[in-house]
Amino acid sequence: MAVPKTEVRCPECGHAQMESENFISTVCRSCSFYFKSSLARQSKKRKVNRVSIQKRELTCADCGAVQMVAEEAQSSTCLECGRHLELGHRLIEGEHLGNLSLEGELQIGPKGNFGGSKARAARIVLQGRASGLLEAAEWLRVEGQAKIRSGGKGNQLTILEGASLEAGDLLSFESGEVDGELRCETLSIAGMLRVGPRGRVVAEKIVFGELTVELGGRLSGYGEVKSKPAEARKEPASEDGISETSLQK
Partner 1 sequence: MSSEIRGVEGKVMENQNQTPQSGLQISGNIGLDQDGVIRATVKGDIRSVSKLVIAKESVVSGVVRARDVRLEGRVDGGIEGSGQVWLVSGSVLRTRCAAKALRIDPGTDFNGELQVGE
Name the residues that contact partner 1, by CB under 8 A: 195, 206, 208-225, 228, 231, 233-234, 236, 238, 241-244, 246-248
Q: Can you tell me the distance from the alpha carbon of 14 to that of 223, in angstroms, rounded to the nearest whole number?
A: 69
Least distance (Å) between residue 197 CB and partner 1: 9
Q: Which residues touch 158 (CB under 8 Å, ≥6 apart)?
A: 139, 140, 141, 142, 176, 177, 179
Among residues 57 and 235, whose Cβ is nearest to partner 1?
235
State which residue, 25 or 220, has the beta carbon closest to partner 1.
220
Separation of alpha carbons 165 and 179, rounded Å? 11
Write down the least CB distance from residue 146 to partner 1, Å: 23
* 17 vs 186, beta carbon nearer partner 1: 186
Beta carbon of residue 151, minimum distance to partner 1 (angstroms, whole number):
21
Taking the least distance from each CB to partner 1, the nearer of 71 and 231 is 231
How far does CA 194 lie from the centroid of its chain?
23
- Phi-psi map region of 64: left, alpha, beta (phi>0 left; psi -120 to 50 alpha): left
- Contact assessment for residue 117 and residue 132, using Cβ atoms and an 8 Å cutoff: yes
Strands 84-86 and 75-77: antiparallel
Supply the minimum distance, in Å, between the C-beta of residue 212 and partner 1: 5
Instruction: Give 146's Cβ-side CA count (13 Å radius).
Output: 35
What is the closest distance, in whole angstroms, from the C-beta atom of residue 228 to partner 1 in the complex?
7
Q: Which is nearer to partner 1, 1 or 242 (CB)?
A: 242
Cβ atoms within 10 Å, residue 153: 18
